[in-house]
Amino acid sequence: MARPFVSIIIPVYNAEKTLRRCLDGVISQTLEDIEIIIIDDGSTDLSGQICDEYAQRDCRIKVIHKDKEGVAKARQIGQEMVHGKYSIHLDADDWIEPDMYEKLFQKAEEYNADITICDMLAIIPNGGKVLLKQELDCQSAETAMNGFLKFQVNSGLCNKLIKNDLYHVYNIKGDPELTTSEDFYILCQLFIRNPRIAYVSEPLYNYDKSANPNSISKVISRSHIESLKLCIEYLEKHIDKVKYAEGLNARKKFLKWWMWSSHLCSKKELIDTYKEVNPLFKDPTHKNRGLYSPIYYALNGHYRFGLLLQKIYDLRASTL
């Protein structure tokens, strides 16, 4: 069998409500020379049956059923099965535009790119849509790395077509122990290799945030925090900490906000974790004060007041 142009990896766990929408978008792609690898990670609903149904309809689909081990392990199994020149991931909650893979493939071939990135649309719980523009004015690896660290380039794999040779040459693998940020961990390994970057300035991927409306403070666990710490530790070991100081500090600042808003850390742990970024929370009147004000006060000797302020913001958010 000829090598497909693109391999699509879809980890699935209890996604029966959105899975058909996701798979319909894949099998109807204008780029037909693709393979579709679905990893059913121990689903207990009808997801496994739906996967098998689509595999019977389309010979490009391969389905693996396995016990639940988490999305990082599911992604890794899928990545090890690919045959395509390029690969890309897709979450079962989301859906894609009909020509997404064709446009990414053509751009990758035109520029001989290692990683080709497109914009995204976020579908929010009230049904609205938010354009997630990837800020890639200059498509150099250094610019992409800076944007990646500073949240100007999405940290997920689903809007990035990646040349599979990168995984093999540099032995890029996920960490099966990660419960979140598994995309981020893989992309950290890829971006430090100085890849050639191409960019399609169109929102071709639809990220359905309404499929999981829980707030971050309700869903983050201790293992989520440790996963993000692991990613930051990897970056500190492998990147130029002077050149990328601003981006690295942005990631550390985000982690401290995670720790704070999830109420999973003590006062001492919050203050001591990445002390060097504490001064960055210095403006309680910032335009994002709903995000920064409580942690600002907590880091500046007013921990209890910060807690009270956070409760007020949480209460206000729950009534919107």
> pLDDT tens digits, residue range 199-246?
999 999 999 987 744 334 346 788 888 889 999 999 999 999 889 999
% of the chain exceeding 90 in pLDDT: 58
Of 117, 308, 129, nearest to 202 by C-alpha is 117
The CA-to-CA distance between both ends of the chain, in Å, stands at 54
In angstroms, the CA 293 to CA 272 distance is 19
Instruction: Please tell me the pTM assigned to this model.
Output: 0.88
Mean pLDDT of the chain: 88
Q: Is the pLDDT of residue 320 over 50?
A: no
Tokens of 279: 């001064």
Question: Which is it for the CA torsion 157, 161, 164, 169, positive or negative?
Answer: negative
Residue 214 has what pLDDT?
37
Q: Please say whether the beta carbons of 149 and 250 come within 8 A.
A: yes
What is the per-residue pLDDT across 119-178, written as a single tens digit (0 to 9) for each? 999 998 777 899 999 987 666 778 888 888 998 899 999 999 999 999 999 999 888 777
Q: Coil, strand or helix: which one is 104?
A: helix
Arithmetic mean of pLDDT, 7-36: 97
Residue 213 has what pLDDT?
43
What is the per-residue pLDDT across 290-299, written as a single tens digit (0 to 9) for each? 556 788 778 8
178 to each of 72, 219, 224, 274, how far by Cα in Å? 6, 15, 8, 21
Arithmetic mean of pLDDT, 246-259: 91
Domains and CATH numbers, the chain: 6-211 (3.90.550.10), 243-318 (no CATH)
In angstroms, the CA 221 to CA 240 distance is 30
Q: Please say whether the beta carbons of 247 and 144 come within 8 A.
A: no
Of 33, 161, 165, nearest to 104 by C-alpha is 161
In angstroms, the CA 302 to CA 307 distance is 9
